[in-house]
């Protein structure tokens, strides 16, 4: 038996009930809607989005069944004067919700047409009731139709091999049965592909601040047994910002120390991305509300996702393609891409840093040690020099922490062909003859930090 989709609205025994979506996924609570004010509040607070048409229908149905007859059913004029403010009020719950506006306008058109036809007041009321229910019923069928159209179109757009192996589709927010009268829109397309055996995995974002993705979409996909992965959209977003900046011709600048430059990595595909524990994306911590506002207020850790999610993608950072970056700013200058190039040439900045390690600048040993650790070519030279001398890394670090060690390192780097290929010819350092005499010679022990006069340099 196929799993049953969730529902956001339940109508039975003359009752109109909604699922309180703010309590999902851990608690399923149905709230009875007994007034237009309650319907407005449910829409505004996102307890249930698709409610306006049915709320008015049930309100008028109660009026027709009431005894004595309410005043708004005394005449067509009275009904019109009663219904129009209700439609305007329901619309204010979420003025930017397109479907809400369409529903209220459609009900207004039904009222206007019936009133203009000089229909009996009860006939007008019943016409509005029927239209409200029709709006809700049409939603499900329309969602299924568009999901099939979209799914079939998507399958034609991909290669036959991919179509056979299954598609990976990403969705944002919640657009399923909980957001509509049934089946869903974008999530409906995913459901259709799954039902047709053409879906590999569904990917969905958390969608803060209401977490419609991690709470509602996660629950819907889990209920339907659709393989899925949650994408964390609160920690990573540099790539998103870069795409938006490029679309609107806004400069996108990276500001970073040279220590973050790794010349061993050809492009972003070689950057290892830290994966955070999946549970981190499922929990939030905060002070209990309303509380007193004092630091002593009790805090709690709560789970916002359904329990037992099997797919959670929680990277610590994302990677932005170089072609979307306008400039890279470092402590040694600004690098920009050449016209027509998609990558950055950082050799000039790295060479500027390399040349800063001159014998006479800086004078402070700790400053020298700090700058060496910032330089990426130091890592290469350090590894090669340690291997050449047969000494451990700690000894090499001790050496490089002195001015004499710096001079030795510079000489070694200048003689290393592969470093020369990276940084160009780095031999001229504007050194005096005395400076050159201090460089490391093959017959000298580089770990002897005493000058000829027996004093440390």
Predicted confidence (pLDDT) at residue 367 exceeds the cutoff of 70: no
Residue 71: predicted pLDDT: 96
d(CA 264, CA 394): 23
Distances (CA, A) of 350 to 139, 380, 406, 428: 61, 13, 17, 16
CATH code for position 39: 1.20.120.420
263 within 8 A of 419, measured Cβ to Cβ: no
Higher pLDDT, 193 or 402: 193
Which tokens is 413 given? 């780097």
Question: Biggest alpha carbon distance in the chain?
Answer: 116
Model confidence band, residue 14 (pLDDT cutoffs 50, 70, 90): confident
pLDDT in tens, 82-93: 999 999 999 999
Is 76 contained in some domain?
yes
63 within 8 A of 138, measured Cβ to Cβ: no
Q: How much is the average pLDDT of 306-314?
A: 91
Residue 236: predicted pLDDT: 66
Is 221 contained in some domain?
yes
Q: Does one domain contain both 110 and 187? A: no
d(CA 169, CA 117): 49
| Kind and range of the H or E run holding 329 | strand 327-330
234 within 8 A of 206, measured Cβ to Cβ: yes
Is 184 contained in some domain?
yes
Residue 325: predicted pLDDT: 92
Is 270 contained in some domain?
no
Q: Does one domain contain both 150 and 101? A: no
Lowest mean pLDDT among 1-5, 33-37, 368-372: 368-372
Q: How much is the average pLDDT of 30-37?
A: 95
Lowest mean pLDDT among 20-34, 234-248, 318-332, 390-404: 390-404
Burial class (CB in 10 A: 0-12, 13-18, 19+), 178: buried
Q: Does one domain contain both 165 and 122? A: no
Lowest mean pLDDT among 271-280, 320-329, 330-339: 330-339
pTM of the model: 0.66
Is 48 contained in some domain?
yes
Could you tell me what percent of the chain has a pLDDT over 90?
A: 37
Q: Helix, strand or coil for residue 48?
A: coil
Predicted confidence (pLDDT) at residue 1 exceeds the cutoff of 80: no
Q: Does one domain contain both 361 and 425? A: yes
Predicted confidence (pLDDT) at residue 26 exceeds the cutoff of 90: no
Predicted confidence (pLDDT) at residue 76 exceeds the cutoff of 80: yes
Is 446 contained in some domain?
no
Predicted confidence (pLDDT) at residue 438 exceeds the cutoff of 70: no
| Euclidean distance between the first and the last CA atom of the chain, given in angstroms as a whole number | 83
Q: Does one domain contain both 176 and 118? A: no
Higher pLDDT, 175 or 375: 175
Q: Does one domain contain both 149 and 126? A: no
Look up the domain containing 222 and give its range: 143-241
Higher pLDDT, 451 or 255: 255
Q: How much is the average pLDDT of 275-291?
A: 88
Predicted confidence (pLDDT) at residue 360 exceeds the cutoff of 80: no
Is 25 contained in some domain?
no
pLDDT in tens, 35-74: 999 999 999 888 887 789 999 999 999 999 999 999 999 9
> What average pLDDT is seen over the chain?
78
Model confidence band, residue 353 (pLDDT cutoffs 50, 70, 90): low
Domain final residue pick, 139, 169, 204? 139
Predicted confidence (pLDDT) at residue 130 exceeds the cutoff of 90: yes
> For 72, phi and psi rounded to 5 degrees?
-70, -10
Q: Does one domain contain both 104 and 133? A: yes
Q: Does one domain contain both 98 and 180? A: no
Radius of gyration for the chain, computed over Cα atoms and rounded to the nearest angstrom: 34
Model confidence band, residue 444 (pLDDT cutoffs 50, 70, 90): very low
Across-strand partners of 285? 301
Model confidence band, residue 131 (pLDDT cutoffs 50, 70, 90): very high
What residue spans of 347-402 are helical by DSSP H?
A: 347-355, 365-374, 376-389, 393-400
Number of other CB atoms surrounding residue 425 within 10 Å: 8
Burial class (CB in 10 A: 0-12, 13-18, 19+), 104: buried
Task: Give the rounded distance of the alpha carbon of 55 from its chain centre.
Answer: 35
Is 5 contained in some domain?
no
Task: Give the rounded distance of the alpha carbon of 105 from its chain centre.
Answer: 35
Q: Does one domain contain both 126 and 193? A: no
Domain final residue pick, 212, 241, 270? 241
Q: Does one domain contain both 121 and 173? A: no
320 within 8 A of 268, measured Cβ to Cβ: yes
d(CA 268, CA 341): 16
> For 231, phi and psi rounded to 5 degrees?
-100, 125
Predicted confidence (pLDDT) at residue 318 exceeds the cutoff of 50: yes
Domain final residue pick, 108, 139, 170? 139
Q: How much is the average pLDDT of 382-397?
A: 43
Higher pLDDT, 77 or 1: 77
Residue 78: predicted pLDDT: 97
285: Cα within 13 Å, side-chain hemisphere: 5
CATH code for position 147: 3.40.50.10470
DSSP secondary structure, 237-298, as one string: -HHHHHHHHHHTT---EEE--GGG--TT--SGGGS--PBPPGGGGTEEEEEPSS--SSTTS-
Q: Does one domain contain both 160 and 120? A: no
C-beta pairs of 259-262 under 8 Å, 24+ apart in sequence: 259/373, 259/374, 259/375, 259/376, 261/330, 261/346, 261/349, 261/350, 261/376, 262/376
d(CA 56, CA 136): 12
DSSP-derived secondary structure letter, 339: T
Q: How much is the average pLDDT of 227-235?
A: 86
Predicted confidence (pLDDT) at residue 160 exceeds the cutoff of 90: no
Q: Does one domain contain both 102 and 150? A: no
Residue 263: predicted pLDDT: 65
Q: What total of structural domains would you count in the chain?
A: 3
- Mean pLDDT is highest, among 163-177, 220-234, 290-304, 377-391, for 220-234
């Amino acid at each position: 038996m196929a799993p049953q989709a969730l529902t956001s609205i339940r109508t039975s025994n003359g009752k109109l009930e909604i699922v309180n979506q703010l309590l999902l996924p851990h608690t399923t609570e149905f709230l009875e809607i007994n007034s237009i004010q309650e319907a407005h509040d449910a829409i505004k607070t996102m307890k249930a989005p698709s409610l306006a048409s049915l709320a008015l229908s049930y309100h008028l149905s109660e009026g027709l069944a009431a005894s004595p007859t309410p005043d708004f059913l005394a005449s067509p004029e009275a009904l019109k004067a009663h219904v129009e403010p209700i439609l305007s009020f329901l619309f204010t719950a979420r003025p930017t919700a397109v479907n809400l506006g369409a529903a209220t306008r459609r009900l207004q058109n039904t009222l206007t047409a019936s009133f203009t036809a000089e229909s009996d007041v009860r006939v007008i009321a019943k016409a509005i009731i029927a239209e409200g229910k029709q709006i809700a019923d049409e939603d499900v069928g329309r969602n299924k139709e568009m999901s099939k159209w979209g799914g079939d179109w998507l399958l034609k757009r991909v290669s036959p091999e991919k179509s056979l192996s299954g598609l990976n589709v990403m969705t944002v927010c919640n657009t399923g049965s909980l957001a509509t009268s049934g089946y869903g829109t974008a999530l409906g397309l995913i459901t259709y592909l799954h039902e047709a055996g053409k879906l590999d995995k569904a990917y969905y974002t958390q969608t803060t601040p209401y977490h419609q993705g991690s709470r509602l979409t996660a629950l819907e996909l889990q209920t339907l047994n659709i393989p899925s992965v949650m994408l964390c959209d609160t920690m990573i977003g540099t790539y998103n910002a870069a795409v938006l900046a490029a679309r609107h011709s806004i400069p996108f600048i990276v500001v970073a120390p040279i220590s973050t430059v790794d010349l061993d990595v050809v492009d972003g595909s070689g950057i290892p991305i830290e994966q955070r524990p999946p549970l981190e994306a499922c929990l939030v911590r905060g002070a209990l509300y309303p509380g007193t506002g004092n630091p002593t207020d009790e805090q709690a850790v709560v789970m916002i996702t359904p329990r037992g999610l099997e797919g959670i993608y929680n990277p610590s950072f994302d990677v932005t393609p170089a072609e979307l970056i306008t400039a890279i700013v470092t402590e040694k200058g600004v690098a920009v891409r050449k016209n027509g190039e998609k990558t950055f040439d950082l050799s000039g900045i790295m060479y500027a840093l390399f040349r800063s390690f001159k014998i006479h600048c800086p004078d402070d040993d700790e400053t020298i040690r700090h700058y060496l650790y910032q330089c990426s070519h130091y890592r290469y030279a350090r590894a090669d020099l340690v291997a050449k001398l047969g000494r451990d890394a700690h000894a090499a670090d001790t050496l490089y922490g002195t001015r004499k060690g710096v001079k030795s390192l510079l000489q070694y780097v200048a003689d290393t062909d592969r470093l020369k290929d990276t940084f160009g010819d780095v031999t001229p350092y504007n050194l005096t003859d005395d400076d050159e005499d201090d460089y490391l010679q093959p017959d000298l022990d580089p770990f002897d930090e005493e000058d000829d006069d027996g004093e440390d340099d």
